[in-house]
Every structure is written in structure tokens, then in C-alpha cells.
Amino acid sequence: MPRALVTGGAGFIGRHVVHELLADGWQVTVLDDLSMGRAEHVPPAATLVIGDVRDPQQVAEAAQGADVILHLAAVVSVRASVQHFYRDAEVNLMGTLNVLRAAVKQGAERVIFASSMAVYADSPAPVPIDETYTTAPFSPYGIAKLAGEQYTLLLGRQLGFDGVVLRYFNTYGPGQTFTPYVGVITIFVHRLLAGQPPVIFGDGEQKRDFVHVRDVARATKLALQAPPGEVFNVGTGRATSVNQIARMLIERLAPHVQPEYAPPQPGELRYSIADINKARRLLGYEPAYRLEESLDEVIASCRAQVSRANAERASAG
């Protein structure tokens, strides 16, 4: 039975990746500090190691016997990385180097590195960009992710493991942990459920590629068979503006509410849409979920999160 280590495997994307691997017969170890993930999200068939990628000893122990390491653990926030740039680099860059060192020491055959659309320069128009598009990050988060990509590919060539990079675009879906910084759909839903209007930074005409978490997890599994040394966009190729997201959610949850507008945030791209032709060609990847058809599922998940949080507060009080 092949063995995989999934860092961040209790988190939003990681838990879905773990399910994909288990379904294919992998033996899975999860390394997660549970700062964003939850222990109950890790299936009983996987082994959970509570630890931090910033600790090289914990990473090395979790990686023992792993044939493949899927490195998803990260502090995922463009906005927060500007204010907390040192912590961003500690986790997203130094944590990655700890994972790569463990991969070499343990003789892992492959490392799949979860990167981000944040490595790209802004696009002048809302059109899909491919993997050769200019990489010029606007944020510390993007800088750390780009460095992690380059380390993964370079050390893979020089030290004998297969490095593969996946650039995730705006991932959404049920089960995303609510924070003020990450996941505009989840943030808007939580505000609307609380009777508050969504807050849009800038004019709202910035366009993104929103890709369902299950599509992202499937692409990550497909990367187990990808040619080594390759970089892949993981998105849908479809552009949706933040204003459109707000309108769709307001129609479902609070038809008489108007969004509020605030100044643009530093580090955020205007246009970011994935050209996924390479992933189609080399991975056999095809997104299965459409945004308009998936929002009700996200809303139901957010309602459940609010109810659970209220129940936990009531029991604690």
C-alpha cells in the first residue's frame, strides 16, 4: 500500500485530498497544527499527527516511510501576509524547506507543492492566463509561494525526487473555516447570515476564477501521475466579479440588502483567471462544478458552522 503524507490535511482543501487518496487505497498520514483545520475532519482511516511545519523534527517524524508528500500546509491570506509578513515567511517558505528536507532524508519519490495564483503579476484584462504568464507577486504571500515553487522544482531535479507544482485559484466550497481574510464567498455568506451587508474592497469589478474544492482535490490527486518538474494551473477558466458574487448571495439570503464598498486592499490582483489547458492535456483534469449551482451547498455549510459555534458558546457559558 503506497504511503502519503499530507501536510495541512485537516484543513479546507487538505481534508478533501485525504479522502481522494484513501478512496484510491493510499495509506495516509496527516500533519496539521489545527490552527485552521479540525481533528474531526481527518477520517479515521488516516493517521493524524498534530504538529507544525515550522518544526523540522515534527515534519521529519511525520514523513517517515512516505512515498509521496503533498504539501498543502500554509497560512493562506494575501491581505494578512502584508501585515504579518514575517510569520507568512516562517510558515510558507521555511515550512516548505522543512518539508523538502524531510522528503530528501526519508527518500520520498514525489513532492506535490500547493502554490497559488498569487505568484502571478496582475493581468491587464479578465482573460485566462497560462503557466508561462509573468510571475511578479503583489504580496508577501505570493513571494513565499513562488520561492517554494522554485525550491521544489530545483531541489527535485538536483536531489532526486519528482517535484510538481499546482497553482490553486480561488477555492470555494462547503467546510471552509470562516476568517475575515480568506474566501470571499464564505465571508459574504457569514455576514449576510449575521444580518450584515457584504463589504466589497474596491469597485467590485475585479474578476476571479472560483474553483470548487472537490475539483481542486481531484486535480491534486491527478498530479500524483503528472510528469515531474511541471507547473499546473488549477481553476475553471471562467471569470466572475466580486460584484456578481455579492449579487448572487444577496438574492439568496437577503434580497433587500445593499453591499458596502471600502478602499482596495494592498496585494490583491485585479484580474486572475486560469488557463487550464495544460492540466486538461497532461493531467486529464476537467472541473465538474459550476459556481452558480454550488452556492446553496456553501450556504448550508455556513449555516451549520454558525449553529455549531452558537451551540459551543452556549455549552461553554
3-state secondary structure the chain: CCEEEEECCCCHHHHHHHHHHHHCCCEEEEEECCCCCCHHHCCCCCEEEECCCCCHHHHHHHCCCCCEEEECCCCCCHHHHHHCHHHHHHHHHHHHHHHHHHHHHHCCCEEEEEEEHHHECCCCCCCCECCCCCECCCCHHHHHHHHHHHHHHHHHHHHCCEEEEEEECEEECCCCCCCCCCCHHHHHHHHHHCCCCCEEECCCCCEECEEEHHHHHHHHHHHHHCCCCCEEEECCCCCEEHHHHHHHHHHHHCCCCCCEEECCCCCCCCEECECCHHHHHHHCCCCCCCHHHHHHHHHHHHHHHHHHHHHHHHHHC
Any domain includes 142: yes
Query: 265 lies in a domain?
Result: no
Give the rounded percent of residues in the chain with a pLDDT score beyond 70: 100
Q: Does residue 53 lie within any of the structural domains?
A: yes
Write out pLDDT tens, residues 173-194.
998 888 777 789 999 999 999 9
CATH number at 229 reads 3.40.50.720
pTM of the model: 0.94
**Is 90 exceeded by the pLDDT of residue 224?**
yes
Work out the average pLDDT over 74-81.
Answer: 84
Instruction: Tell me, yes or no, whether 256 lies in a domain.
Output: no
- Asked if residue 308 is part of any domain, the answer here is no
* Enzyme catalytic residues: 141
Instruction: Give the pLDDT mean for 48-77.
Output: 96
Q: Give residue 89's domain range.
A: 3-172+211-234
**Number of domains comprising the chain:** 1
Q: Is residue 156 part of a domain?
A: yes
In a domain, 272, yes or no: no
Question: Domain for residue 215, yes or no?
Answer: yes
pLDDT confidence band for 265 (50 / 70 / 90): confident
